[in-house]
Amino acid sequence: MNSLLSGGGFGYNLLSEGGFWGTWYASLLVIVAEVILFFLIAAVLYRFLFKDLLNVLFALIFIVALSWLFILLIIAQVIYGATTKNRFPVFTSEYYAGKLSKPVALHFFTTEESVTDGEGRETGERLLSGYGKFLRKTGLYKLPHLLDVLCLRFSFVGVKPMRLADTRFMTESEMKRFQVRPGLICYLVGTQEREMPYSGMFREDARYAAKYSLGKDIKYFLLGVLRCIRGEDKSYLGEAQNADYAEVLLRKGEIAQRDFDLAREDAEKELAEFFADSPTAADTPDRSDSSDIADTSDNSDRSDKEE
């Protein structure tokens, strides 16, 4: 007993500078325990706080880590515009129905340039630029999506973004999908079904909105990134892969052309009111199937300005 108190015992060795807690593996154990505790807290509070917090945190980390690439691409775009004497904005945007079905902007690097006639006057047409081909082939034109996640317009993982006009034909139960933000990666990447109709997607959307969790979102994010690296298609989106909801309804004869046109006009009015002081969405990027990140790319050749 005296030897323990005098400093030679096991308890003293643990607490002493040269004991267990003074070793590198003890520090590692503490770090691991803290990480586990953090994820446990994040999992419990994920729906109330940590989904948004983690979106902002990781978007900021990615932006800082890729800041050199952002700057390089912006400079290259400005130089290309100057050498071709074709001025165009660095960024373009498209608009979708975000959380609570409110309009939100999704930003891209501009990939198109104006077509001019023999006298140098713009014809109103736009074609994919030489620099834009590079951006689309590499998928780098989607890099500004990180800014939209940082601003909580979008989430890394969420429901598939939908056009404002589509919401005019959705029922109250189908609108439950808008309880969460649209995602750059659709959670459906984790499903096995490949021919899901819109009605099935809306049911799954409502389930996701009611039961999403940290563990599942991590799984969907990793699956989405893996599909992007492999260059796989978006067949998991089913009917939503190649057509907007309103277009599918029109094609099936479930709505008339007049209903379709009125929905677009109504969406255009809502967009004009909501973004009265924002730039228009007239310039939009072309379609690209090169990446599973941002499932919006399947319909990105259509502007909400046309709605």
Tell whether the model's pLDDT for residue 8 goes beyond 90.
Answer: no
pLDDT value at residue 23: 80
Percent of the chain at pLDDT > 90 equals 56
Q: How far apart are CA 105 and CA 101, in angstroms?
A: 12
Answer yes or no: are the C-beta atoms of 182 and 108 closer than 8 Å: no
Q: Give the lowest-confidence range in 127-131, 187-191, 298-302.
A: 298-302
Q: What is the mean pLDDT of the chain?
A: 83
284: Cβ–Cβ under 8 A, 6 or more apart, which residues? 92, 93, 94, 108, 112, 300, 301, 302, 303, 305
How does pLDDT run across 85-119, given as a tens digit for each residue? 777 788 999 999 999 999 999 999 988 877 666 66
Tell whether the model's pLDDT for residue 303 goes beyond 80.
Answer: no
pLDDT value at residue 289: 38
How does pLDDT run across 216-227, given as a tens digit for each residue? 999 999 999 999
How does pLDDT run across 15-43, given as a tens digit for each residue? 555 566 778 778 889 899 988 998 899 89
C-alpha 223 chain-centroid distance: 14
Give the mean model confidence (pLDDT) for residues 118-139: 77
Angle at Cα 236 formed by Cα 225 and Cα 134, nearest 5°? Answer: 50
Answer yes or no: are the C-beta atoms of 103 and 291 closer than 8 Å: no
Q: Give the lowest-confidence range in 64-73, 206-215, 227-236, 293-302.
A: 293-302
Tell whether the model's pLDDT for residue 278 goes beyond 90.
Answer: no
pLDDT value at residue 18: 55
pLDDT value at residue 117: 61
149: Cβ–Cβ under 8 A, 6 or more apart, which residues? 55, 56, 59, 155, 156, 184
Task: Give the phi and the psi of residue 301 in degrees, each rounded to 5.
Answer: -90, 5
pLDDT value at residue 126: 72
Residue 225, CA atoms < 13 Å, CB-side half-sphere: 8
pLDDT value at residue 305: 36
pLDDT value at residue 40: 92
pLDDT value at residue 130: 83
How does pLDDT run across 42-88, given as a tens digit for each residue? 899 999 999 999 999 999 999 999 999 999 999 998 888 778 777 77
Give the mean model confidence (pLDDT) for residues 168-180: 95
Q: How far apart are CA 153 and CA 150, in angstroms?
A: 8
Give the mean model confidence (pLDDT) for residues 185-193: 89
Q: Which of 86-90, 172-176, 285-289 has the highest mean pLDDT?
A: 172-176
Give the mean model confidence (pLDDT) for residues 193-203: 89
Residue 149 or 78, more confident? 149
